[in-house]
Structure formats: C-alpha cells, structure tokens
Chains A and B, each alone.
Chain A
Amino acid sequence: MKDIFFNLSVRSVRLNFMRSLLASIGIVIGVVAISSMGMLGTNMQLQVKDQLSSGADTIVISADAVRMGPTGSSSSSSSSATGITKTQLNKIKLAVGTTNKLVPIYSTNTQFTLASTPGRSTVYGLNPDDITKFLTISNGTNIEGINDALVGSTFATNFNLKIGNRIRIGKDTDASRPVLRIVGILAPRGMSSDNVNTDNAIIVSDDWYTNQYGGKDIYRQVNVIVKDISTIPDVESVIDAKLNTNPKTPVVRISDASSRLSGITSSLSSITTFILAIGGISLLVAATSIFNVMMMSVNERIQEIGILLSIGTEKGEVRRMFLYEAVILGILGAGIGGISSLVIGYSVVSYMIGTTKYFFLPESIMYIPMGMTIGLVVCIISGLYPAWKASNMDPIDALRSE
C-alpha cells in the first residue's frame, strides 16, 4: 500500500491489537448471525420447495370446510356428505376437458393387522386405471383383483413386506375383517403437494373401498393433473366458475402446489426476518463498540492529530486515516465473521435441516458476502463521527494536549 495514511492506520490498529480485535468481535457476531440465519431460512425454503414440487402439475379439489358446518347442511342440495359428489365430479370433468387427467380419490384412516402386529394407516381408494397416472409401482404389479392392494415404500420397509403378503383390515373387535393381498409396492414419494402421501399408506381399488367403507361417489378429493403447468390458473378459474356459482358460499376448495408453497414460504420468511432482526441488533451493539474504540483512538492521538494538522495535513487526509482504521476493523471483523459463518452456518443448516445439499447454492451462500458487507458498512458508519471529530480539531489545542 502506497498510502501513508493507510500505513498509519495499520500501525495504530497493530499498536492496540487486543482492543481492536475485541471491538471486531461484535462485528463477527453480527455477520455470523445475519449470514447463518439467512442461510438457514433459505435452505429451509429450498428444501420445502423441492419436496412440494413433486405435485406441481396437480390441482387439488376438495369439499369446502365451510360446508361441513351445521348451517352448510341446510343449503346443500345434493348431499350433506363431506366430499365431492358425482354431479360435482361431472362438472369438473367438463371444466378440465380431455387433455388433463382427472383422478377422484377416496381416503380414510383404518386399523389393520399384519401377521399379529396391529397398526393404523391411511387407505386410499383409487380406480386402478388412475393409479399409474401419478403413482409409480417400483415392485410388483398394479391392482387387478378385487382384494389386491398396493402399499407405500415406508410402509413396506417398516413391516418388512413382500409381494404376496396379506393385511387384515379392521379392528380386532370388528365382525368382518377382510383380507387384502399385496401385489405391488410404490416408489417413495415424500411429502407431496397433491395431498396424496402414499409412503405410509395402503392403496386399494375404488370398488373394494366403497364396499368396505360405503360413501360411493363421494370423494375425499379430486386431483386434476394438468398437461401444461402454465394452464393451472385458467383451469382453476373454469372449475371455480362451474362449481362455486355463489362466491359467498363456495362449495369446493381449489388449491395447487404454488398456492400451498406461498403459504409455507411466507411463514418461513417471516421467521427468517425475525432472526435477521436479531442479527441486526447484534450489529447495532457492534456499532457502538466500534464507535467506542474509534473515539478512544482519536482521544489518545489528539497530539498526533495536532502535529499532522500543523505541518500541513489536509482535513480530508486526517479523516481518511481514521476511516481506514474503521475499514481495517471492519475487514478484520467481516473476514473472521465470514469464515465463522461458513463453519457455523454449515453446522446449523446440517443440524436443523438434515441436508447441506442447498448450502452452496448462490441464493444460500450469498448471505455470507451480504453479511460481511453489512458488517463492513456498519464499521464505516461507526467511524464517520470519530473521523470527522479528529479532522476538525484545532491544531493549537490539539498540540498542547498531553
């Protein structure tokens, strides 16, 4: 560095190294808080987004919750049951056209016994032809006979199931306890945004389902799998217009991955904002400690400032010297903070989220340079007043001070 004022600042920082380092610790903490929390929030969002994107092409139509209340039943024309009725299904069919696939789904919870072990899980009733429209059978075949069933991957692993095993449905006390034969195991699906979470479920044919549980033609939900994701809003509005004829009392609720996702991400981002605010507060504390150290430096060097000014140093040059000092403290703090953020952020993300596969993505890792920049800027701002004070001293008074 050619600049003698920079040399002077470096020497001053070195002379008071312990003090400077301690002041920088505030910046370190602030940078770490901002960047690791920012990264945590982003990694969370990225993971949720990834998990939900498996059903991105699916619109989910279910009976509106409002209609399930006591007032809802009186206005119900076709049925008081809680589900999508046959007439509604036909209207949906008309609305979505032939290019998009329609999957009506029954579902409930059930008890079962496997060998002699009892259990409880979700049962989905599906038309066997619909199953392959959105589910993947990793092992075995699709349902053919009336007593055939598929199970999810986690379910199969947990109970150590093989093709050909049998499940007895119902409680011990039930009179009739039908037996299902497992013909296939589904590929893992994760948390899907189409509301069909098969990993821990049993899938049976719609005929078997309505036989066992009744409620024929009253579906828990109807999924529309669109051919082109960009048409989702249009398809939704057509369905809405056809079924929810009175906007004040909607009969069905229509949702899709992006509307669910925006709900989740907005609550996540408010958490992130909160944590970032904590980082901001720690930077405020850091700013005061930097300010303090800078004022100490100015006050200890009054005579030196007097010398500089009296032999013809410009005010701007004195200001620059002290701003360099603030920048050095900032770089020290931001540098240590950046490295710490990498280590701490990585640990926090891997501990809290369980995976670090999103950690080095630009939208996540950018929080480190961002945090460092904020730390540096805070330092410079804290140094402005001390630098200004130094440069505006009266040289005679300054020289006289001891």
Chain B
Amino acid sequence: MIDTPLIRFADVSKVYHLESGDFTALDHISLEIEDNEFIAIMGPSGSGKSTMMNQLGILDVPTSGELFISGRDVAKMTALERTHMRRDTIGYIFQNFYLIPLLSAYENVEYPLILKYKKRDESGKASAMLKAVGFDEAMSAHRPTQLSGGQQQRVAIARALVNDPKILLCDEPTGNLDRKTGFQIMDILCGLHSEGKTVIIVTHDPKIAEYANRTITLEDGRIAA
C-alpha cells in the first residue's frame, strides 16, 4: 500500500458551466491521502471544500484530471460501480444530518445493511453501532424529526459506519451543533480514526481542525497550504 495511496487527486479540476460563463470550483488539484489519515479541509466559503468532498464521495466526477480511490479511476467506473463504492467504501456525515425522514433511527442505521445484503439485518450490527456512538437505545424507534441535532448526528455516524467503510467524509459535521455536542461528535470521530478509519473533515472551526493530523486549506479552488 506504500506505492498506491488510498486517495490520489491528479491535476483535478471541476468546472461548472454557467450562463454567465465557466466557473472553476476546483483548479488543478493534486493531492495524496494515505490510509488512516485524519485530514481537516479548511478555507473560506465558496473556496471549493464541498465540491472537493463531492469528488471524494464520487457523487460527481472531475471535469479534467484523474481521481483514484482505492486505486481505481472513478471516471472509468460505471454508474452502478460508483453506487456500490459509495455504499461499501465510503461513509458520509453531513452538516444537515440527512437522515431518511420516513425511517426510524434504528431503520436509518439498518438501511445501508439492507442495501448491501438485500435483506433485513439479523446480525444486530445496527443496534451495536447505535450503542457504539452513544445513542440512547430507548430512542431507536423515533423518527429523525423527534430527535435533537446531536442525536441525529450520532444516528448519521452510526449509519455511515455500519457497512464498515474505509473512508469517512464529514462535511461540517458539527456545523449545526452547539460547541459541547460538537466536541462529543469529534471525540467519536477521533475514536474511529484510532480504530483505523481514514477521516476527512471539512470545518470552519480551527479548534475542530486541531483534532486532525493534517490540514489542507483551499482558496479559490486551489490548495493554499
């Protein structure tokens, strides 16, 4: 694994074609991320942090350049292969939690297991994961709207982890939480990093960025530091 990094941006650009002209959100980014790194991405608003996360999460593909994840060129993968990589290799944690509103807390965590194994979970993984992130078991049957922000983010983390992904992508995971809850969530992420996950987190908060081993700062779509 020394010669092939987990993630490699090779001269990646992302250009949005707008009526007012082309807008370059990512400008020739080259970057390598090794297995089990803890990375914070910082930068002013509009600098391209979320755009970069979308590339990492293969929700989108670069306009030019190449992006390798686990040694595979994402542009050369089929739509179904990308879907399966999102399901199996990557865990997402969003600022707005993005739980599935029609499912209970437990079902939200069970959902990725159902996607992967095409059947309801009988292994108890979902409950175990909820417990691991410190989610109150009595709340398992609650719908997302009945939970606090911190509780929702715990459920979201459990959901992201349940298929045991290599990479955790967190776009401002504490952005909608108070400081205390935010640090609790960061402690969970730290724990996951020490268990071997590669964690990439976008944040505006330098205190949060202190948790990371490496900080990447973006400015106008370029890496500034």
On A, residues with C-beta under 8 Å from B are: 2, 4, 7-8, 11-12, 15, 303-304, 306-315, 317, 395-396, 399
Contacts and interface: CB of A to CB of B under 8 A. Distances in A.
B112 A312 contact: yes
B60 A396 contact: yes
B107 interface: yes
B135 interface: no
13 contacts: A4-B103, A7-B103, A7-B107, A12-B102, A304-B102, A307-B98, A311-B87, A311-B159, A311-B160, A313-B83, A313-B115, A314-B80, A314-B83
B100 A312 contact: no
B12 to A, nearest CB: 16
B101 interface: yes
Q: Which 8 A-B pairs have the closest CB atoms?
A: A312-B87, A312-B86, A11-B102, A307-B98, A4-B114, A395-B59, A396-B59, A314-B83
Contacts of B79: 315
- Interface size class on chain B is 20 to 34
B120 interface: yes
A317 B120 CA distance: 15
A314 B79 CA distance: 9
Interface in B107-135: 107, 110-112, 114-116, 119-120
A2 B101 CA distance: 19
A172 B199 CA distance: 116
A72 to B, nearest CB: 81
A51 B120 CA distance: 61
B195 to A, nearest CB: 21
Contacts of A310: 57, 59, 86, 92, 98
Nearest to B85: A312
Contacts of B84: 312
Contacts of B102: 8, 11-12, 15, 304
A308 B86 contact: no
A315 B60 contact: no
A253 B79 CA distance: 75
Given A2-B120, A4-B114, A307-B98, A312 B57 contact: no
B83 A312 contact: yes
A136 B80 CA distance: 80
A312 B115 contact: yes
A399 B94 CA distance: 10
A8 B103 contact: yes
Contacts of A317: 115
B154 to A, nearest CB: 16
> Looking at A7, A8, A311, which has the most chain B CB atoms within 10 Å of its CB?
A311
Contacts of A4: 103, 107, 110-111, 114, 120
Contacts of B54: 396
Contacts of B107: 4, 7
A308 B57 CA distance: 14
Given A8-B102, A399-B98, A2 B88 contact: no
A17 B111 CA distance: 24
Given A11-B102, A313-B83, A313-B115, 17 more contacts: A7-B103, A8-B102, A303-B98, A307-B100, A308-B100, A310-B86, A311-B111, A311-B160, A312-B83, A312-B112, A312-B115, A313-B87, A317-B115, A395-B59, A396-B60, A399-B94, A399-B98
A2 B121 CA distance: 10
A395 B83 CA distance: 11
Nearest to B99: A307
A12 B102 CA distance: 7
Contacts of A306: 98
Contacts of A311: 86-87, 92, 111-112, 115, 159-160
